[in-house]
């Protein structure tokens, strides 16, 4: 099963993806994690990405599309993957469609974790405090920017996948366990 997790920053995509890895045996592919690894390793991509990530903007499409195209070729993706944080805009979604068709892979569902903006702000502030600055893009200052980027660039993917009849919406305001249950229900429906 190949899935996409959509939702604004702080919606709990990473947490739910980890649970789905454990429950469904899927691989989690987080472009955010991969970019942070590149930043930590000090690669050219990492250096280029860091400035952009710290601003709360999206890194160029060709970088993330290239990363995902290479990654889904790996043998561990054969049993299925969860895309967490990719695609982030329509150009990436179209590139993904082409990539999947070329590789004869199907996209089984797109799960939207829907959360109210006000709840997100308090969650992200909490996460910024917990990480003690570990995620330099995770402070409240740029939260509004990241949310604006989500609404402006990523939210248009919702009608895009709805038109493909793949979109399933889950209520991200519930407890972590309840959201996991909703996801299971949505996937079995």
Provide the binding-site residues for ligand AMP, judged by CB under 6 A: 9, 31-32, 35, 52-53, 56-59, 64, 85-86, 88, 92, 137, 146
User: What is the C-alpha separation between 18 and 117, in angstroms, rounded?
Assistant: 23
Q: Are 150 and 11 in contact (CB under 8 A)?
A: no
Nearer of residues 88 and 123 to ligand AMP, judged by Cβ: 88
User: What is the C-alpha separation between 35 and 45, in angstroms, rounded?
Assistant: 8
In the residue annotation, 19 being an active-site residue is answered as: no
In the residue annotation, 114 being an active-site residue is answered as: no
Least distance to ligand AMP, CB of residue 86, Å: 4
Q: Are 87 and 161 in contact (CB under 8 A)?
A: no
Nearer of residues 27 and 59 to ligand AMP, judged by Cβ: 59
In the residue annotation, 71 being an active-site residue is answered as: no
User: What is the C-alpha separation between 154 and 151, in angstroms, rounded?
Assistant: 6
In the residue annotation, 123 being an active-site residue is answered as: no
In the residue annotation, 47 being an active-site residue is answered as: no
Nearer of residues 135 and 184 to ligand AMP, judged by Cβ: 135
Q: Are 153 and 58 in contact (CB under 8 A)?
A: yes
The set of catalytic residues is 13, 88, 127, 135, 146
């Amino acid at each position: 099963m190949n899935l996409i997790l959509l939702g604004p920053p702080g919606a709990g995509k990473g947490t739910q993806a980890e649970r789905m890895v454990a429950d469904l045996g899927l691989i989690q592919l987080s472009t955010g994690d991969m970019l942070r690894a590149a930043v930590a390793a000090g690669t050219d991509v990492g250096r280029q990405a860091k400035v952009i990530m710290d601003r709360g903007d999206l890194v160029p499409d060709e970088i993330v599309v290239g990363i995902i195209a290479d990654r889904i070729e790996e043998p561990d993706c054969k049993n299925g993957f969860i895309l967490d944080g990719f695609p982030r805009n329509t150009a990436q979604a179209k590139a993904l469609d082409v990539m999947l068709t070329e590789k004869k892979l199907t996209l089984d569902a797109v799960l939207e974790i829907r959360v109210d903006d006000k709840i997100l702000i308090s969650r992200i502030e909490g996460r910024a405090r917990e990480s003690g600055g570990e995620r330099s893009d995770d402070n409240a200052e740029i939260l509004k920017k990241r949310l604006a980027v989500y609404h402006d660039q990523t939210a248009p993917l919702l009608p895009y996948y709805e038109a493909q009849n793949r979109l399933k919406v889950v209520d991200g305001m519930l407890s972590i366990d309840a959201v996991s249950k909703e996801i299971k229900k949505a996937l079995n429906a």
